[in-house]
């Protein structure tokens, strides 16, 4: 009786349907292609082209179409998590997705200073490498063919790339808030029909300060996932040797 109760208390995780798997593979593959193209654009802009090219067009003007499409398409991940198509936590996924969407839509697209912030290439570089690895891992994981080096990259590169990306994001916010401070852009003051007030400048600072409590939690969450997937120390190494024998 007790054995049956224990068994029923751990229901097997439901596998997505064949149609859902095709959709998820297609979505992740498209994102890998999109972010690979953005990474190519970064390399081409800074390394393959000369100063004359960069004088004619800004990085944002060069990459904006691809960045707007593929970064904002990440909103689909929240829906995938919410509907149980993937095992990700929808709350954690929501924080990660909205922070980047805010940088693209609410900072870079919204202000001229955000477009020329030195944080933009830093953020795009970190995002591109992270997303190529992450979406590639997801696509391979669906068909259950994930090379160990891909798993290692997925749960190791974030250690450097996550802080680098956040640094780039905050630099974009910093350049945007300087513009918002001097210009009443995207703000509403009373009196008005809505009988409400909104300060874009204050909003930017609220979001920036929000990184202080949220970033460490997300960063530590990734370390917890890394320990869960990769293990650590000599115990993990010995376990691998036992499996090999």
pLDDT of residue 232: 58
Contact (CB, 8 A) for 70 and 135: no
Higher pLDDT, residue 225 or 186: 225
pLDDT of residue 241: 39
Closest CA to 175 of 116, 109, 101, 99: 116
For the chain, the maximum distance between any two Cα atoms, rounded to a whole number of angstroms, is 78
Distance CA 19, CA 31 (A): 18
For 41-61, how does the pLDDT look when each residue is reduced to its tens digit (9 = 90+)?
A: 999 999 999 999 999 999 999
pLDDT of residue 74: 94
| The two three-digit tokens of residue 206, written as one number | 């609220």
Contact (CB, 8 A) for 38 and 63: yes
If you average pLDDT over residues 56-68, what whole number do you get?
97
Is the pLDDT at 168 greater than 60? The verdict is yes
SS3 188: strand
pLDDT of residue 35: 98
Angle between helices 90-101 and 59-72 in degrees, nearest 10: 160
Residue with tokens 């376990």: 239
What is the pLDDT of the chain when averaged over all its residues?
Answer: 88
pTM: 0.85
> Which residues does the annotation mark as catalytic?
162, 169
Bridge partners of residue 188, in order along the sequence: 198
pLDDT of residue 15: 75
Residue with tokens 């997705």: 97
Is the pLDDT at 34 greater than 90? The verdict is yes
CA dihedral 175→43→131→177, nearest 10 degrees, is: 0
Distance CA 62, CA 53 (A): 10
Distance CA 148, CA 145 (A): 10
* Residues 6 or more apart whose Cβ sits within 8 Å of residue 138: 24, 28, 86
Share of the chain above pLDDT 90, in %: 71
> pLDDT band at residue 86, thresholds of 50, 70 and 90?
confident
């Amino acid at each position: 009786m007790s054995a049956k109760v224990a068994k029923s208390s751990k229901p097997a995780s439901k596998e997505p349907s064949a149609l859902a798997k095709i959709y998820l593979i297609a979505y992740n593959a498209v994102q890998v292609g999109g972010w690979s193209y953005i990474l190519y654009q970064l390399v081409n802009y800074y390394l393959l082209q000369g100063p004359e090219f960069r004088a004619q067009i800004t990085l944002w003007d060069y990459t904006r179409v691809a960045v707007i499409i593929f970064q904002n398409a990440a909103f689909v991940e929240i829906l995938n998590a919410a509907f149980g198509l993937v095992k990700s936590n929808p709350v954690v996924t929501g924080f990660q997705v909205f922070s980047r969407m805010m940088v693209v839509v609410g900072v870079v697209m919204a202000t001229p200073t955000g477009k020329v912030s030195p944080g933009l290439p830093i953020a795009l570089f970190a995002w591109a490498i992270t997303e190529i690895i992450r979406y590639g891992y997801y696509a391979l994981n669906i068909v259950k063919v994930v090379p160990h080096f891909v798993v290692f990259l997925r749960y190791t590169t974030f250690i450097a790339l996550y802080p680098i990306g956040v640094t780039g994001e905050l630099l974009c916010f910093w350049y945007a808030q300087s513009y918002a401070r001097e210009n009443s852009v995207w703000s509403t003051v009373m009196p008005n029909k809505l009988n409400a007030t909104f300060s874009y400048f204050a909003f930017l600072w609220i979001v920036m300060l929000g990184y202080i409590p949220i970033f460490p939690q997300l960063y530590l969450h990734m370390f917890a996932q890394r320990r869960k997937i990769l293990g650590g120390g000599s115990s993990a190494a010995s376990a691998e040797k036992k499996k090999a024998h």
